[in-house]
Amino acid sequence: MDLFEHDAAVQATNDDAQTTKINTVARGYYEDPFVRYFARTGSRKSPLINRGTWVRVQAVYDSVYRFLETYRENSCRQIVSLGSGFDSLYFQLQRKGLLQEGDRFLDVDYDSVISKKVEIIRTNPELRTALRADLTQLTNACGAKTDQYILAGVDLRLVEDFKRVTEEVAGFNLKKPTLVICELVLIYMEPKYSDAVLSYLSSSFAELLLFNFEQVGPEDPFGKQMTKNIEARGSPLMGLVAYPSVRAQKERFQKFNFNAVAAMSMLEYYSKFVSASEKIRTNRLEPLDEIEEFELILEHYCTVWASRTTGDLAHIERLLPPEAG
């Protein structure tokens, strides 16, 4: 497979993710009035897929909400979503009134993905209204922006381009608290490229918090089949061999001098941080018979919270949700 085919396959994962999310929202797992504008309704997904998607979305949203709450007294909070695809997180934060005037939000993805996302926003009255500002075309990169929201195309393998987009195009302040969301993005990059991204981030931002979500556990039968299925779609998990376990993921971020790192499987996250009432609620939406398979899937995904800060090292703990009673 050549590089073009690989990139196209990785970009196609965005469409799969949005189709899955629109199904999950339609079944009532969580609210997102914007997802329907970024995805076509596809075939109905199984309760197993819907439940897993909901847990993944909850982990991301919990981290973002707690970051914003932790730094609520700061005049400028910055969020970067790497490989953002058509994700509607910025619009969700606006809808909930969680962003302040000085905050900045950067969506980063391939040029083709960003161009399509900008076009969707520009041609949809509901999204334009939710944006609360007009998009202007970027002059020094593919994409568009408002004073607060920037959508920029960049190949993350070209770390100098990513640096330019972050600091010059988006105008991020390296001294302000910054959250970087890596949701199934680093795993599709060769380690030399993903490591370069982490090295740049950890060495540049004074107050950095990072959330990473990706697959682990390729050695057992389930992991081997999972890897095979993903490779068959043309988007191999290039980082899985280098970082195959929760422990390896934790050591990965420690290697880049993150002061504090918390890493766990999504099964541990689900057990610790998803309340009994939420588990009951979602089971009423769609009873789940394949409990063992669901837990097996969650065991093969890992979430990491990493903090690189010159300030209070306890911030990493404040990014984690309170444990469910």
- Report the distance separating Cα 206 and Cα 308, nearest Å: 7
- Ramachandran bin of 155, using left for φ above 0, alpha for ψ from -120 to 50, beta for the remaining angles: beta
What's the start-to-end Cα distance of the chain, in Å?
Answer: 49
- Name the CA dihedral angle for 229, 233, 237, 238, rounded to a multiple of 10 degrees: 140
Say if residue 143 carries a ligand binding annotation.
Answer: no
65-70: long-range contacts, CB 8 A cutoff, minimum separation 24: 65/98, 66/318, 66/319, 66/320, 66/321, 67/177, 67/179, 67/209, 67/319, 68/93, 68/98, 68/99, 69/318, 70/177, 70/315, 70/318, 70/319
- Report the distance separating Cα 173 and Cα 104, nearest Å: 10
Cβ distance 36 to 126 under 8 Å?
no
Say if residue 183 carries a ligand binding annotation.
Answer: yes
Write down the residue that tokens 């202007």 correspond to: 136
Say if residue 83 carries a ligand binding annotation.
Answer: yes
- Report the distance separating Cα 52 and Cα 301, nearest Å: 10
Q: Which two tokens stand for residue 125?
A: 């009255």
In terms of Cβ atoms closer than 10 Å to its own Cβ (0-12, 13-18, 19+), residue 226 is buried
Q: Which helix (H) or strand (E) holds 5?
A: helix 3-26
Residue numbers belonging to the annotated binding site: 56, 83, 155-156, 183
Residue numbers belonging to the annotated binding site for S-adenosyl-L-methionine: 56, 83, 155-156, 183
